[in-house]
């Protein structure tokens, strides 16, 4: 089995993967073109278009991340080649911590205290009980489900939403369009963990933001395309006073890095982080990659990506 690895720090991944798969020939995209052409499998994150076109008899692709949007939107992606993606692989816990930080930021008024400090204003706000702070999680895949469980374990009532019905212990699950409206009307913090697909693009638009209770907050460690940015800015107001939306913690943007010209950078009610909520921990990810490549090579059934659905 010949495996071509492409990701930042590809050499580190190559070495670790070669250790786990002694039967395989593992090389990076720095290998000569002739070798790249012979790859049976690709283990890649955001590969260049040309690299995807090179292998002459590709049998499978492992996406070295949870989201497959960049791969599926790559014009070089060969048709019909099965794709496997990382499922959680330790990312969910890191994203869960990011989300818990964000919820507490708003529930314990850290956003207000930060602004008060600028005016040397010593004023305490009454704490809203966690039980009265429902959190909505859009997307109940491997990551969304784990994050929802972590937030519920902290004592917040959690409402989860997926396109088709799901049932998760301790989470009030909603589905479909009507379920989305019902969730939006109830939650004080909305967390976005949906994949980027044509069906989820701008799922948080002006209509959705208007459904949220006055003073709700938004946390987006998912994908930038989920949010209509103009509607978000409108809901946030000019920053001087709290708008309909109290604030947003954003880790994902339609264009990354977020362009210098984006008004989000300087908005006083927005916290920007550089797509750092869920870095892939190498150990668990490598185990999943090695397992997937072995199963590919043995012709065993694998949970593959559905390119039509986009995840």
Two structure tokens written together for 25? 């020939």
Give the C-alpha separation, 164 to 71, whole Å: 24
Residue 10 or 24 having the CB closest to ligand OXD: 10
Closest C-alpha among 56, 7, 77 to residue 305: 77
Active site residue 275: yes
Two structure tokens written together for 136? 């909505």
Residue 107 or 200 having the CB closest to ligand OXD: 200
Task: State the minimum distance, in angstroms, from the CB of residue 222 to ligand OXD.
Answer: 8
Which range of residues in 62-70, 72-80, 238-246, 301-309 is near ligand OXD by CB under 6 A? 62-70
Residue 102 or 157 having the CB closest to ligand OXD: 102
By the rule CB under 6 A, 278 interacts with ligand OXD: yes
- Which residue has tokens 């997937």? 292
- Helix (H) or strand (E) holding 271, with range, is strand 270-272
Which range of residues in 9-17, 49-57, 59-67, 156-164 is near ligand OXD by CB under 6 A? 59-67
Give how many residues touch ligand OXD by CB under 6 A: 4
- State phi, psi for 56 to the nearest 5 degrees: -85, -25
Which residue among the candidates 223, 246, 267, 269 is catalytic per the annotation?
223
Instruction: Give the C-alpha distances (Å, rounded to integers) separating 204 from 63, 128, 193.
Output: 27, 25, 12
Pairing label, strands 41-44, 216-220:
unpaired
Give the C-alpha separation, 29 to 152, whole Å: 43
Pattern of binders to ligand OXD over 63-102, x per CB under 6 A?
--xxx-----------------------------------
CB atoms within 10 A of CB 254: 17
Pairing label, strands 60-63, 83-85:
parallel
Q: 10-20 vs 282-298: helix axis angle to the nearest 10?
A: 60
Contact 289, 24 (CB under 8 A): no
Give the C-alpha separation, 185 to 167, whole Å: 20
Task: State the minimum distance, in angstroms, from the CB of residue 242 to ligand OXD.
Answer: 30
Task: State the minimum distance, in angstroms, from the CB of residue 8 to ligand OXD.
Answer: 11
Two structure tokens written together for 304? 């593959």
Task: State the minimum distance, in angstroms, from the CB of residue 289 to ligand OXD.
Answer: 13
Which range of residues in 61-69, 71-79, 134-142, 282-290 is near ligand OXD by CB under 6 A? 61-69
Task: State the minimum distance, in angstroms, from the CB of residue 169 to ligand OXD.
Answer: 25
By the rule CB under 6 A, 139 interacts with ligand OXD: no
Contact 247, 224 (CB under 8 A): no
By the rule CB under 6 A, 47 interacts with ligand OXD: no
* Contacting ligand OXD within 204-243 (CB under 6 A): none
Which range of residues in 60-68, 131-139, 230-238, 295-303 is near ligand OXD by CB under 6 A? 60-68
Task: State the minimum distance, in angstroms, from the CB of residue 274 to ligand OXD.
Answer: 11
Which residue among the candidates 108, 115, 275, 294 is catalytic per the annotation?
275
Q: Interface residues with ligand OXD (CB under 6 A)?
A: 65-67, 278
Q: Enumerate the active-site residues.
A: 223, 275
């Amino acid at each position: 089995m010949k495996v071509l690895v492409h990701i930042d720090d590809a050499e580190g991944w190559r070495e670790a993967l070669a250790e786990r798969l002694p039967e395989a020939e593992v090389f990076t995209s720095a290998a000569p073109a002739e070798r790249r052409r012979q790859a049976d499998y690709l283990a890649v994150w955001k590969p260049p278009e040309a690299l995807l076109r090179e292998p002459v008899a590709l049998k499978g692709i492992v996406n070295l991340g949870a989201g497959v949007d960049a791969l599926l939107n790559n014009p070089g992606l060969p048709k019909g080649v099965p794709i496997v993606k990382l499922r959680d692989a330790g990312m969910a816990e890191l994203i869960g911590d990011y989300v818990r930080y964000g919820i507490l930021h708003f529930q314990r008024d850290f956003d207000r205290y930060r602004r008060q400090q600028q005016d040397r204003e010593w004023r305490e706000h009454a704490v809203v009980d966690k039980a009265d702070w429902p959190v909505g999680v859009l997307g109940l895949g491997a990551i969304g489900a784990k994050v929802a469980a972590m937030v519920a374990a902290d004592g917040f009532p959690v409402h989860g939403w997926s396109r088709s019905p799901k049932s998760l212990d301790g989470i009030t699950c909603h589905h479909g369009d009507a379920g989305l409206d019902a969730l939006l009307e109830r939650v004080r913090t909305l967390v976005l963990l949906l994949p980027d697909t044509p069906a989820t693009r701008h799922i948080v638009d002006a209509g959705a933001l208007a459904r949220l209770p006055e003073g709700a907050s938004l946390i987006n460690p998912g994908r930038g395309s989920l949010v209509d940015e103009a509607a978000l800015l409108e809901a946030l107001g000019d920053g001087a006073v709290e708008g309909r939306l109290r604030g947003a913690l954003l880790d994902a943007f339609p264009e990354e890095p977020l362009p210098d010209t984006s008004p989000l950078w300087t908005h006083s009610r927005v916290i920007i982080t550089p797509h750092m909520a869920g870095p892939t921990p190498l150990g668990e990810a490598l185990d999943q990659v090695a397992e997937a490549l072995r199963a590919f090579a043995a012709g065993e059934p694998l949970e593959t990506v559905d390119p039509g659905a986009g995840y």
